[in-house]
Amino acid sequence: MSGIPVNLAIEDELSEVVLMRILKRLGRYHVGTPHRRGGYGYLKSTIAGWNRAAKGVPFIVLTDLDDCECPATLLANWLPDPRHHNLIFRVAVREVESWLLADRKSLAKFLAVPEASIPTDSDSLPDPKDTLIKVAGRSRSKETRQHIVPRPGSTAKQGPDYNACSGSFVRNDWSIEAAMRGSPSLERSIQTLKKFQPVWS
């Protein structure tokens, strides 16, 4: 086994795909177990355990900022105990979709929309996922609209193949370098992952 061994704790399927793509690109980590059971509630309820476990094997926790004031406040609310050095806590501002939107050129091509329809400064968007879905709703591709956008009359917040389509974009088309230029929160996260060196007990 080569690289820094690390386990993951993530909110959802898309966050896992994004983090795995980033770690593959960096080439300095060996990923063990990804823990994902649906939403921030799971991460909040388990982070104290991940913090203790990080003494033996480093953990990367990736969550969305959502409506919280800032990442520091979010971490303080979730983890009153001191954070172990090996617990890498990263926050997408305000959702991981903002990191996808930050690569405007590639996403526009993937969604078959004009690049101008994708907002700049994606970290400032109050609801990046909703923005991505609305942009997809203007796609020239009927198939894309059917996959990503909720069906008319549906109470669903996303299309039936939202995760599969978004994941395909991340794996095959997303430019991490371009997205870093458009998303300060992504750039900070990647810089942290580039510099991290574990402390072994």
Taking only the tens place, the pLDDT of each residue in 172-198 is 999 999 999 999 999 999 999 999 999
For 7, the 3-state DSSP assignment is strand
Which residue is listed with tokens 């090996």? Answer: 86
Please report, as a single letter, which amino acid is at residue 139.
S
Please report which confidence band the pLDDT of residue 151 belongs to, taking 50, 70 and 90 as the band edges: very high
Please report which confidence band the pLDDT of residue 37 belongs to, taking 50, 70 and 90 as the band edges: confident
Please report, as a single letter, which amino acid is at residue 27.
G
Instruction: Give the model's pLDDT for residue 1.
Output: 53
Instruction: Give the model's pLDDT for residue 39.
Output: 85
Give the pTM.
0.96
User: How does pLDDT run across 75-128, given as a tens digit for each residue?
Assistant: 999 999 999 999 999 999 999 999 999 999 999 999 999 999 999 999 999 999
Contacts of residue 134, defined as CB under 8 A and 6 or more positions apart, other chains included, come to none
Q: What are φ and ψ of residue 2, in 5° steps?
A: -115, 155
Instruction: Give the model's pLDDT for residue 69.
Output: 92
The strand order across the sheet containing 29-35 reads 29-35, 4-10, 59-64, 87-92
Shortest CA distance to 131 belongs to which of 170, 158, 92?
A: 158
Average pLDDT, the chain: 96
Cα–Cα distance between 74 and 59 in angstroms, integer?
Answer: 17
Q: For the residues 41-45, what does the mean pLDDT come to?
A: 95
Query: Do residues 4 and 58 make contact, with C-beta atoms less than 8 angstroms apart?
Result: yes
Instruction: Give the model's pLDDT for residue 2.
Output: 80
* Residue 47 scores a pLDDT above 70: yes
| Strand ranges inside 100-183, DSSP E | none
User: How buried is 114 (Cβ within 10 angstroms: 0-12 exposed, 13-18 middle, 19+ buried)?
Assistant: exposed
* Residue 26 scores a pLDDT above 80: yes
Instruction: Report the share of the chain in percent with pLDDT over 70.
Output: 100
